[in-house]
């Protein structure tokens, strides 16, 4: 079995994949912040999953970890994991020392892209060979899986589309540019544009208000969907993937989000025969609810070539 651990800013999810690539066991626990605490969280997640799987930790042939930060794939060193309270951490080395099993570390969006390619199916149920994963979380970033492998680029920048400026005189972004896509299409963008009364997450509050006919909510949702559609268009015109799969916290909206973004893509296609021919709405998917794609992808990180070629999907029942 392979073990995958996804360390998020608030919770850590772990799954065990069997030899066929099906997820067999899963656990979730709160993430403790800071370098030592992150390593302790990894050890705790591995221990709990081993217990549930009825195997010692060294019974796992590989352990992969997905982490929200900059990762050197060769060493497994992590830097700038701001949401984890980590500036610099030799995570693979420390986790290996704690667990006694080889550990590989990958950026969380890349891991989720690999996991989504493992779980999703193209037309006719065929495995997905090329896929773009659009992570709509607090921020906005994408991961590319091409021929079953994560495409990182020369320096790991591939897919950092959140910092593509869309509005030349727009708001100042923490990255130093103005009007970045992340300021228009992300969880933090929605929280700013539609704070709500705090009784529901901003994304759900916005969609509820729009469905109830609130004209301001309808306009905000329409702008948001158009910005997400711009991200989808960018990914297709750059990498021409079979599928663009939306994941991250906002994807919990499910079909409501899919319908809004497909609507925006259809409107683009009505203005442009070129875009209509690219069939963008047909390529769009959303990660199935409650499938921990980032942890599944982390488990696959030890063997990246296997990811999109596995036959056995996550059991949906």
The site for Zn ion (CB under 5 A) is made up of 163, 173, 175, 177, 180
We find the least distance from the C-beta atom of residue 172 to Zn ion, in angstroms, to be 9
Nearer to Zn ion by Cβ, of 163 and 221: the residue is 163
Q: How far apart are CA 73 and CA 144, in angstroms?
A: 15
We find the least distance from the C-beta atom of residue 185 to Zn ion, in angstroms, to be 12
We find the least distance from the C-beta atom of residue 134 to Zn ion, in angstroms, to be 16
Nearer to Zn ion by Cβ, of 166 and 306: the residue is 166
CA distances 208 to 23, 153, 215, 256, 291, Å, are 34, 39, 12, 10, 24
Q: Which of 313, 315, 316, 314 is nearest to 125 (CA)?
A: 313
Give the distance, in angstroms, between the CA of residue 138 and the centroid of all CA atoms in the same chain. Answer: 11
Give the distance, in angstroms, between the CA of residue 21 and the centroid of all CA atoms in the same chain. Answer: 19
Helix/strand/coil for 308? helix
Nearer to Zn ion by Cβ, of 157 and 175: the residue is 175
Q: Detail the DSSP E strand segments found in 205-261.
A: 243-247
Count of residues in the chain: 317
We find the least distance from the C-beta atom of residue 135 to Zn ion, in angstroms, to be 15
Nearer to Zn ion by Cβ, of 173 and 191: the residue is 173
We find the least distance from the C-beta atom of residue 283 to Zn ion, in angstroms, to be 26
We find the least distance from the C-beta atom of residue 251 to Zn ion, in angstroms, to be 22
N-terminal to C-terminal alpha carbon distance within the chain: 21
DSSP letter assigned to residue 274: H
Q: How far apart are CA 159 and CA 229, in angstroms?
A: 15
**What torsion do the CA atoms of 101, 106, 108, 113 make, to the nearest 10 degrees?**
-110
Q: Which of 132, 81, 141 is nearest to 237 (CA)?
A: 132
Q: How far apart are CA 10 and CA 180, in angstroms?
A: 25
Nearer to Zn ion by Cβ, of 129 and 173: the residue is 173
Nearer to Zn ion by Cβ, of 180 and 209: the residue is 180
User: DSSP per residue over 159-180, as a string?
Assistant: T-GGG-B-STT-PBPTTS-BSB
We find the least distance from the C-beta atom of residue 247 to Zn ion, in angstroms, to be 21
Q: How far apart are CA 196 and CA 152, in angstroms?
A: 37
Nearer to Zn ion by Cβ, of 131 and 180: the residue is 180
Nearer to Zn ion by Cβ, of 2 and 163: the residue is 163
We find the least distance from the C-beta atom of residue 170 to Zn ion, in angstroms, to be 10
């Amino acid at each position: 079995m392979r073990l995958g651990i996804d360390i998020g800013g608030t919770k850590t999810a772990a799954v065990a994949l069997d030899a066929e690539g099906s997820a067999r066991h899963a656990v979730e626990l709160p993430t403790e912040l800071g370098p030592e605490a992150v390593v302790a969280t990894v050890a705790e997640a591995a221990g709990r999953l081993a217990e549930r799987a009825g195997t010692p930790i060294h019974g796992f042939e590989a352990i992969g970890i997905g982490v929200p930060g900059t990762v050197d794939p060769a060493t497994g060193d992590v830097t700038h994991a701001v949401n984890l309270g980590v500036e610099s951490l030799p995570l693979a080395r420390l986790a290996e020392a704690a667990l006694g099993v080889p550990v590989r570390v990958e950026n969380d969006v890349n891991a989720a892209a690999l996991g989504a390619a493992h779980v999703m199916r193209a037309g006719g149920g065929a495995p997905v060979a090329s896929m773009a994963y659009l992570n709509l979380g607090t921020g906005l970033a994408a991961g590319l899986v091409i021929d079953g492998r994560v495409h990182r680029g020369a320096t790991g920048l591939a897919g950092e589309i959140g910092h593509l400026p869309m509005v030349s005189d727009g708001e100042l972004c923490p990255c130093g540019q103005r009007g970045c896509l992340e300021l228009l299409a992300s969880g933090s963008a929605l929280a700013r544009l539609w704070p709500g009364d705090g009784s529901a997450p901003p994304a759900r509050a916005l969609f509820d208000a729009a469905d109830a006919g609130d004209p301001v909510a309808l306009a905000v949702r329409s702008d948001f969907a158009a910005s997400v559609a711009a991200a989808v268009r960018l990914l297709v015109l750059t990498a021409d993937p079979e599928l663009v799969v939306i994941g991250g916290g906002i994807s919990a909206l499910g079909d409501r989000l899919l319908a809004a973004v497909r609507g925006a893509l259809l409107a683009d296609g009505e203005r442009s025969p070129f875009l209509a021919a690219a069939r963008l709405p047909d390529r769009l998917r959303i990660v199935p609810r409650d499938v921990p794609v980032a942890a599944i992808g982390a488990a696959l990180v030890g063997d990246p070539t296997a990811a999109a070629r596995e036959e056995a999907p996550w059991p949906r029942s």
